[in-house]
Amino acid sequence: MTDTSILFQSATLGSLELKNRLAVAPMTRVSATDDGRATQQMADYYAKFAAGGFGLIIVEASYIDEQYSQGYHFQPGLANNAQRDAWKLVVDAVHAAGAKICMQLVHAGALNQGRNANYPEGAIAPSAVAPKGEMLTFYRGEGTYPTPREMTTDELIAIKDAFVAASVRALEAGFDAVEIHGANGYLLDQFWTAHTNQRTDEYGGSARNRIRLDEEIVKAAVAATQGKLPIGLRLSQSKVNDFEYQWVGGEQDAADIFPVLDEAGVGFLHITEHVATDEVFGSGHSLAGLAKKHAKAPVIVNGGLGTPETAASVIAAGDADVVAQGKAALANPDWPAKVQAGEPLADFDFGMFSPLADLASQAAWEAAQ
């Protein structure tokens, strides 16, 4: 039997100490109020993972402003003080159950499927490029995405400020860390991705330019929160609307961007892939392994690591510091406790997301089992 004890060693993400190396990956559950406030139901849901032994819970992507950042109806936000105060319910419940909690901040960019009626309609993006793929039906979407409007420079600055203001609200709400969502096809990933960023200013073109907005947001958020909590960044290759996308510069991209993010003060990198152990670019490393090779910041790895053996093997190989579980955590909110006790794990079932990927559908599915 593989030794999984390495998963239960303590770890640090910058100034944040974790009791083990097991995190819950961020998962959008569209179960907030219509105006983006977290609920008691969400507090109970997140507290279950804490009670089940996870050291860190990264909550679902929350939008940052009252403009174009919301991408899904009933998505939570951290764009105003009412939303901040609602999150305290979740933070307190998770802390009481013994885990640390990280906020994930997002701007949907071109991937907008609907938002509160008080915010403007439509989508903005680095360039007016129609997204590939189709909207997610389990978040009430249907059909292709419209072409977004190209952002102005003023909007770009306002978005940077909004990420920073939301990071400060996260600190005020009691979160232990912030993760900037630079992955999976949303606005910041639209900047990083070559074909969705056709800008000719200093935010488009080279890898150095396409990572600049991430760099500036991290740097400004670190300064505004005075180093009181780590500001991490999530990066990926694949996107919710484009599974096969790969970084255009291969390993050179990793060599170009990770030192820049270190220099900006990034508290951790969260690298997600479909199968996080897969080798990339013929480099002899996984993408998380390349982050470890080219960055000094600690690395959270995610994607297809639901068995205790694979989770332990990435840590043992030195490819990451913390493993984040998505679907395996939904099937087993007590994944760490079960693994420690040597108990069998339940398989994930997509029935949980039918008809919607919200907590009501999950509760109905669970009641039917």
CA 308 – CA 344 distance, rounded (Å): 10
Closest CA to 332 of 295, 368, 300, 305: 305
CB 355 to ligand FMN: min, Å? 13
183: region left, alpha or beta (phi > 0 left; psi from -120 to 50 alpha)? beta
Distance of alpha carbon 21 from alpha carbon 295, whole angstroms: 19
Cβ 60 to ligand FMN shortest distance, Å = 4
Question: How far apart are CB 184 and ligand FMN at their closest, in Å?
Answer: 5
- Residue 318's contacts (CB-CB under 8 Å, 6 or more residues apart) are 289, 292
The catalytically annotated residue of 68, 186, 203, 245 is 186
Shortest distance, position 9 Cβ to ligand FMN, whole Å: 20
Sequence letter at residue 199? R
Whichever of 39 and 147 has its CB closer to ligand FMN, that residue is: 39
- Establish whether the linkage from the previous residue to 355 is cis, with ω within 30° of 0: yes
* Of 71 and 126, CB closest to ligand FMN: 71
**Choice between 11 and 323, CB closer to ligand FMN:** 323
d(CA 349, CA 60): 20
**Choice between 147 and 313, CB closer to ligand FMN:** 313
Report the DSSP beta bridge partners of residue 101: 57
Distance, in Å, from the CA atom of 26 to the CA atom of 146, rounded to the nearest integer, reads: 26
- Residue 186 designated active-site: yes
The residue among 11 and 301 lying less far from ligand FMN, judged by its C-beta, is 301
Distance of closest approach, residue 195 Cβ to ligand FMN, in angstroms:
21
Residue nearest to ligand FMN (CB): 326
- Which parts of this chain interact with ligand FMN (CB under 6 A)? 25-28, 60-61, 104, 181, 183-184, 234, 272, 302-304, 306, 325-328, 357
d(CA 304, CA 318): 17
CB 65, min distance to ligand FMN, A: 17
Q: Which residues are catalytic?
A: 186
